[in-house]
Structure formats: structure tokens, C-alpha cells
A and B are shown apart, each in its own frame.
Chain A
Amino acid sequence: MTTLLAAYLAATVLVPLIARRLGREIFLAAATLPAVTLAWAFARAPEILAGSTAAETIDWVPELGLEIALRVDAFSLLMTILVAGMGTLIFLYSRWYFDDGPDLGRLAGPLIAFAGAMFGIVIADNLLALYVFWELTSITSYLLIGFDDRSAEARAAALRALLVTVAGGLAMLAGFILIGESAGTYSLTGVLANPPTGMSVEIGLLLVLFGAFTKSAQAPFHFWLPGAMAAPTPISAYLHSATMVKAGIYLIARLAPVFATLHFWRPLLVGVGLATMLIGGWNALRQRDLKLLLAHGTTSQLGLMTALFGTGIAAATLAGSILIVAHAAFKGALFMVVGIIDHQAGTRDIDRLDGLYRKLPGTFIATVLAVASMAGLPPLLGFIAKEAALEGFLEMIGIGWGRIALAVLVIGSALTFAYSLRFLWGAFAPKRADELVADFTGSETMRPEVGFLAPAAVLALLSLAFGIMPGTVNALVVGSARALVPGPTPRRLALWHGLTPALLLSVAAILGGLLLWQLRREVARFQERRRFAWDAEMVYDQTVETVLRFANVVTGRLQTGSLPMYLAVILGTVVAIPGSTMIRRLDWWPVILLIDRPTQGVIALFMALAAILTVLTRRRMSAVVATSVVGYGVAFLFVVQGAPDLALTQLLFETLLLVLFVLILRHLPISFPGRGGRWWRIVRGGLAAAVGSFITLAALYAGSARGTAPPVSVEYLRRAIPEGEGRNVVNLILVDFRAFDTFGEIVVLTAAALGIMGLVRAARRGRGEMGESRTMLTFRPSTILDAAARIVFHTVLLYSIILLTVGHDHPGGGFIGGLVAGAAFILIYLAGGTPWMRRVEPAPPELLLGTGLTLAAVVGATGWLRGSDFLEATSSTLLIPGVGTIDFRSVFLFDLGVYLVVLGLVIALLGSAGQEEVRQP
């Protein structure tokens, strides 16, 4: 079984690839796969019908209870024969239906995928796997209905079918999960063997039924099926009549015998099923398009199947099984006939077809057989199915609504008889002697090729053969019914059971149908007058429209395009949701320490004042300087806290940032533009206060969490000297313990540096094009600065290298060393501008960045060469002749890479933000 499924998967990929070369012969090639499946089913049939089952299981995601469990019992066998048998015939038929074209691969691929998915549905024993196959059929159905992608109608119909069936599918998934979790297993047989009970199971079942109803086009979701007739006829015959729409029926049939005793089950299923039967039959009576007539007829028959299987009793289940077979045979044949008529006569309109029985005698005979089966006339299989259905409902006559159900069934059968006659009359009867009409379908109408007609003829003959010799299908349908409802076997199929009540009702239905046919003009007039003010389709359309409009309104309101507005919404949410939770849980009021060390208070005061000044000032430069004060304050707080590395980094970056701001601000106006509206300032102020309070609370809260568990860093402190061979633990974390993070960080720095260089270059080019005057920083040579820079430059560079090398044991390291080196270049830049800096820089910034990054990566990769992890540190002792030995550690090289990247960043910034280079022509 898994082999077959895998073959379908492979064929799905392969078929579109070779389709172009084979043209329409691709359908013949593809037909082999369903044919093989059919052969497999026949080969396994004897043992399965004897009562054994074939099962296979492949683990997929065992953690989720997801496995591809396959199991074939008699009912699955029946469905498999249906899917594979119809599939074979449909592929053969398609060979003649379609003309050669470039798009056939787009049709044959999804079609074979569908055949595989449908096969999967009927043999899946895991609910989740079943769901996956189920949705696959929805998707392939969507692709096939919308095959004619230039027709807006086909696209709309495809989308509608998809939305309805997938909405049902999603509900079904939720239902499966509810059921599976309650049962403790996702195995279908497991659930059915030990049915779970309880509220959640009942809700789950309702959701599953919702899915089944949408898939099988039950009222009020029946409206997508007629629309699906936009698909090419072979697709309609296969998906939307014989197989896919029976997936819901299949599921109902599986579940009903176990769950039918639930109070809502039978009224719901029998009610919905019979209502659908009436609606479908009634609508079929007024169709002028033969294909739509069949579509509504299909809805009607599906309703009957839902009602039959929904009862969960043996006799009705047997009737349902027979009906599945009978329906597939006659409806498949009739769809194919419609395709032939459409193909040969060029129309499917009842009013334009005239006297076709003379032109297409073979087709006519096949149609008569199939229609007779649909109408429920002996000696065809449809008659046996209807008899069985009536008997099934007769068994329930004792239940309160049993009589009503029986009456509705008879009325439904009468409708079926009437629309069957309408189909035969519409397709073939001579209607008018009107020359014009006769001419239209006249001379060009050619007899179909033998291969074109053969599949329909086979199905029609099967309807007859099974009817005359019910023994041929007896084992299969009785076996299915027994597999579904264990217990005493219903009796054998036969045409003649004697003068039973069922026979009398059957005769009544036929007479009723004849009456309806006789009164067809009156019925038509009545139908014209009694159009419903609204129907399910309109409800669907309005729902879709409402959803779209709602989405528009919400998007229009929320997505205004304003950055401050977005930020305000995000921040407001942060304050409102976690903030309110925090306040509600405020039973902790931590032991609040007013202050840690007195120096903190002084620094904090300065910082607070500077922060407020940043907000209040209208001048750019003051705002920048005030922010810098805050930054330096942070550095001092780090010193107090016992973090010298941080303090150094913060100080250096603060300085660099200040220089950068000044360089950029030269180009910008001195003051900020207007303050914005008054109410907006109030909102911002309120939000700022709220965020500030929220963070204060959160800080206190977070601080009080300390001490609930031992800190991670205890381990770092312990391992620093034995494993890291260093004493500066912060540096060890950066270059050794958590070196991969640092590696990521220097990648980000490199990216930022390159981005900045690109942006500034683009900006300058833009300026040049606009012909604006270049802003030049004119240097007033300062002798003192110049002299100082010359003296200090090399000293500072040397100091930066010392910082780099001692970083392992003392404050310092790659980041700090790189920044100090950068500071040396800042000095040179301030004293002599870009030209001087260009002279002293060791390499262009791109080269520094690239070298640093490469070095770090190579050092990391050597870890792999030694068979350990990326960036795993090593140490080795180098013997240098004449000097002695040097302890050498790989992390030093890594730190050197960091150093180079940081230096490259600084030089890149100075080069970009600073004075423009005057290029000599």
C-alpha cells in the first residue's frame, strides 16, 4: 500500500514533466497507475472479504501521534475499487475528451495526485493522516476546477469550492484533535473500538460532521458543487460525482455505527441528508444545462447516502453501500455521456439539443441504461439500491420521525425519477421540428470514437449486469456493511423479494415521478414564481464580502503608515498587558533598598537631569551633548558596579558616537522642526510616563528575582582558570565560553559598517547630481593639536595593542583595544582631516573588516580540523629559537579579529561621515 502511495507521489512529479512530449497520450500512460491499484485491490479482495484486514504503519512524527497507518477492510476495499476503477476509466476517457495542448500536464498531474490522495483517504487509519489526504484532495480539486485559468467564472468557482471545503477541513482537524485527545489515540480503529465519551467528544464529532458536510456538499453547503462544474467534464465525473464528494460520506459511514446513539446524531444526519436530497432533486428539475442537472442530482444522491449511513443501522448501511456503487456507475456514465454530447454537438443546453438519439445511437443506448438505474427501475442496480434504502427506512418506522423520513424518501425518489426523465428527454428527444435548431446540431454531429464511448458504455453495462446478477457485487457490499456494522448479516441482494412494502413504495415513487413529469409545465411555472429570496450561495458571497470589508477597515485604521503611531501602539500594548498583569500580581513588594552605594545617587541625579534636558531642548547639538552626559554617567555607574571592561567600552563608544554625531549634524538644521500637535504631545508624554513607570516596576521585580536560583556565572568563575586559562572572566566569556555570539556580533558590525559606507556614498553621488554645493569642513590648522596628535598617535596605537594582549587577564581585549586604536585615528582626523588620516591608515576599512572577520572564522574553523567544535579554544607552546617559549592561545587570534573589525568600523565611519575627499581629476 505504501508502495502504491509512493508511486502516486512519484507520478505526480513525473507526469507534468513528460506530458508535453506525450500530448494527450499522457492520460493513457497515467491510467496504468489506477489500473495497477485496481488489480492490487482485486488480488487482495478474497482474503479481505473473508474477514481479514491488510495493514501497514510507518512512523512519521511519533511525538505528535502522527503516523501513516494504513488499513484496508471490506469497506475500504469497496472504496478503493471505486477510486481506482473510476480513475482508470476517467483517464482512458480523457485521452479522447481532450485535444492535444500544452497545458495537459497541468491537468494530468493534479489528477493523478488526486487519485493518490483519495486512495489515501479510504485506506488511512490515522485521523491526522486522513486529514492530510483530505486536504490534498481539496487542493487538487481547486487546481482542477480552476484549470481554465482564463475564465473568471472558473477561478471564482474553484476558490469557492476551496474555501468551503477547507473551512470544513479545518473544523474537522479540530474535531479530530478533540476526539483523538479524549480517546488517547489517533487511530481510527482504536477510536471506534473504544469510543470516547463526553462533552469534548461530542463537540469534536460535530466539527468532524461539519467537515464531512462541506466536502460532500450537504445543505447548506451544497452550493459549491454546481459551481465546480466549471471544471472539464472528466474532472466533474471523477471528483465531483464519483469519489471526492464521497469522502464525507465515507467518514460518516465509519463513525455512524458507533456514535449513532448520541442524541443529536440521527436527527442531524437524517435531517440534513433528506433535506439535501429534496433540495438537490428540486433544483435538478429546473436546470437547462445537462451538466448542472447532473450536479444537482449528485447533491441529491449524496443527501440520500448521508441519511442512509447516518442511521448507523445495518440495513440502511447496506443500502448505502449499494448506492455508492450504483451511483458511481450510473452517474459516471451520464457525466461521460454529457462530455461526449458536448464534444460532438458543441452544446449541453437542453433547448438546443434536438433528436440526438438518431445521431448518437450507441451513446443513447448507454444513456438509457444509466438513466434507468438512476431512476430506480428494475432490473438495474439503482433499483436494488432504492429498494434497500426503503427497507432500511422501513426498519426505523417505529421511531417518532421515522414515518416522516420515509415519506420524504419516497418524495425524493419521485423527484429523482422526474429529473432522470428530464435528462433523457433533454439530451436526446426530438423537441421541435424547427429547422434552425435541427441544423445547429445537425450535420456536424459525429459519432464518437469507440474509445471515447467505451468507458461510459462499460459503466452503463455494469449497472445492468450488477442488477441482473446481484451476486457479483453481493460479497463486496455485504462485506462492507458487515465491516461497518458488526452483527447479523442483512440478506442477500436480489431483484425480487416478493410483494413487500418496499416494492409498493417504490412503485409509488415511480408513479409520483411520472406525475411530476406529466405536470412539468406547471412545475416549471411554479418554480419560476417561487424563487427563494436568498439562498446559501448568497449567504456565502455576503460572508466573504463582509470579511474582506472588515479586513479593509481594520487595516485602514491600524496601518496608517505612520511610524510614531505604530510605535505608540506597540508600547501601549507593552504597558497595558504585561503591565496590568504585573500590577495585579503585586503581592511581592520586594524589600526595597533605597540605594546601594552613595556615589550611585550622585551620578543618577546628573543622568536624570541630562535625560530630561535631551527631551526638552530644541537644538540638535544640545540634545546630543545631553545624551552623551547620560552615556558617561552610565560608564561611571559601571565602574561603581564593578565592571571595568564595560566602563571602558562605554566611555570609548560614547566618545566615538559624539564625534560621529557632530560630523553628521553639520549637514542637518540646527534646530528640530515643529513640536507636533498639542494632543499628540500629551499622548506622548503620558505614554512616556507609563513606560517609565512600567520599567521601574519591572526593574524592581526583576531585581527581586535574584537569589531564587544559583547564577550561571558561578560555573564560569569556577572554570575560568582551569579551562580558560585566564583571569578576566568577562573577556573569557566573550572570546571563549560564548565566542560564537561574539562571532555573530562582529558579522553584524561589519554589515553595519558596509551599510553606512554604501549609504553615505549614495548620498554623496545624489548630491553631486543635484549640483548642490559641497559642504567642506575647512580646517584651521591648530599647531598645538597637530603637534599633540603627532606625538600621541603612535603611543596610543601601542597602548591599544597592549590592551589587546592583556585582555585575557586584565581589563581590555579586542573590543576595547580596537576602540582605543580607533581613538588614535580620531585624533589624527581632528587634527589633519581626511587626507592625513588616509596617509596613516594601515589599510582601507573594507580590508580591515574583511581580514578581521576572516581571521575569526579561520580560527574558529581550526576547531573542526582538530575534530572538536567551532571556536573551541586551544593553547600551544611555541618554541622560538633564541627567544624561548611563548604560550600561545587560539583565542588571542580570535580577539585580534575582533580588534581589526572594530578598528575597521571606526575608520569606515570617519571616512564616511567626515570630510569629503577631493578627488583630483
Chain B
Amino acid sequence: MSLTMALTIGILFGAGTYLVLERTLTRIALGLGLWSYGANLLIVISGGRAGAPPILDPDAPATHFADPLPQAMVLTSIVITFGITAFLLALAYRSMTLTGDDMAEDDIEDRRIAGLWQAEREEEAAEETEEETGEVGGEEWEGGER
């Protein structure tokens, strides 16, 4: 593996990571695309040095050819990546028609679970203040908070 190739793959992954950590589905799709380029290159290049295309010539020795196995794996990978990217784009399109943009919103169920804990903490804080001051009535708190 040459240093140039390793660095290129690293840059592709880095750029992809930055994009994937976005909320815009388009950028996430592009980030995934960069990741898959990097991964495909990594697999093919891990298959050894460059060689002749694996179109067999019975006279040549096996070492003459590039390793065909990573190539077959990556061919599959390209096709699948394409299917996934297209699907993501369709999702972005659907999201667009529903919400007006293609942002990945927070999961509502997850936020509710997180809220459960928040609510409990607030309740406790309310109780503590109540105990400390002894004057702030529970009703007032409940009325104010809910």
C-alpha cells in the first residue's frame, strides 16, 4: 500500500465524516458517497500492487494479474451503494414534500425518553426548593410548570 493511496483514502473518509455529521439529507448522501469511494478504493488497493486486468491469458503466470476477488467484491459494493444513495435521495425528496426541507429531524420517541429524565430532575428540583424554602407551595409550581 503506497502512502499516497493511504492518504487519499484517509482524506475521503475525513471529508465524508464531516458531511455525514450534518442534518441535511443531501449532504449526508454525499458524505456516504465519499465514504464508499474510500472504502472501495481501500478494498481494491489492499488486494496488492497494480497488475494486468484479470482477463486470463493461459500463458501468463498467476502473479501477472491483479487480484480479481477484491474487484468482484467492490463491483457489488458500487452497485449497492448506488441503490442506497438513490434511496436516500428519494427520502430527501419525500421529506421535502412533507416538511419543506430535507433535514433529518430528531427522533420524537427518543426525545420523549430523554424528556422523562429531564422532567424527573425538574420535579426533584422543585421538591428540594419546596423543602428548603418551605413556603413555595406545590400548587404554584405545578401550575407554573405545566
Contact = CB atoms under 8 A, between A and B. Distances in A.
Interface in B55-94: 55-58, 62, 65-69, 71-72, 74-76, 78-80, 82-87, 89-94
A643 B101 contact: no
Contacts of A905: 83, 86
B30 A641 contact: no
Contacts of B92: 664, 668
Contacts of B65: 642, 717, 729
Contact of B72 (A571, A711, A733): A733
Contacts of B117: 552-553, 555-557
Contacts of A594: 2-4
A380 B97 CA distance: 85
A720 interface: yes
Among A631, A697, A705, find the residue whose CB has the most chain B CB atoms closer than 10 A.
A631
A699 B10 contact: yes
B69 A561 contact: no
B6 A699 contact: yes
A644 interface: yes
Contacts of B57: 727
B126 to A, nearest CB: 16
Nearest to A691: B17
Given A673-B101, A749-B79, A811 B53 contact: yes
Interface in B27-74: 27, 30, 33-34, 37-38, 40-42, 44-58, 62, 65-69, 71-72, 74
A609 to B, nearest CB: 9
Given A593-B2, A630-B34, A653 B82 contact: yes
Interface in A607-650: 607-608, 611-612, 614-615, 620, 623-624, 627, 630-631, 634, 637-638, 640-646, 649-650
A689 interface: yes
Contacts of A729: 54-56, 65, 68
Interface stretch (A45-53, A367-375, A416-424, A738-746): A738-746
A604 B5 contact: yes
Given A630-B37, A728-B54, A643 B44 contact: yes
Contacts of B54: 642, 717, 728-730
Contacts of A660: 86, 89
Interface string A526-557: 00000000000000000000000100110111
B139 interface: no
Consensus secondary structure, chain B interface: helix
Given A691-B14, A706-B46, A607 B8 contact: yes
Interface in B102-134: 102-104, 106-111, 113-118, 120
Contact of A741 (B6, B76, B114): B76
Given A623-B26, A699-B46, A717-B68, A693 B10 contact: yes
A759 interface: yes
B136 interface: no
A615 B17 CA distance: 10
A706 B10 contact: no
Contact of A634 (B40, B58, B80): B40
Contacts of B56: 717, 720-721, 727-729
A124 B19 CA distance: 60
A600 B117 CA distance: 54
A465 interface: no
Nearest to B114: A556
Interface residues of B, number: 95
Interface in A84-114: none
A604 B4 contact: yes
B101 to A, nearest CB: 7
B78 A627 contact: no
A667 interface: yes
A738 B72 contact: yes
A695 B38 contact: yes
A660 B29 CA distance: 12
A714 B63 CA distance: 9
A702 interface: yes
A631 to B, nearest CB: 6
A55 interface: no
B141 to A, nearest CB: 21
Interface in A473-529: none
Given A728-B54, A811-B55, A762 B94 contact: yes
Given A552-B120, A691-B14, 20 more contacts: A561-B108, A594-B3, A596-B4, A642-B66, A646-B40, A649-B79, A661-B89, A664-B89, A687-B17, A688-B14, A695-B9, A695-B10, A699-B10, A704-B1, A716-B69, A717-B56, A752-B84, A752-B86, A753-B83, A913-B90
Interface of A: 549, 552-553, 555-557, 559-564, 567-568, 571, 590, 592-597, 600-601, 604, 607-608, 611-612, 614-615, 620, 623-624, 627, 630-631, 634, 637-638, 640-646, 649-650, 653, 656-657, 660-661, 664-665, 667-669, 672-673, 676, 684-685, 687-689, 691-693, 695-697, 699-700, 702-706, 711-714, 716-718, 720-721, 727-730, 733-734, 738, 741-742, 745, 748-749, 752-753, 755-756, 759-760, 762-764, 766-767, 770, 809-811, 815, 902, 905, 909, 912-913
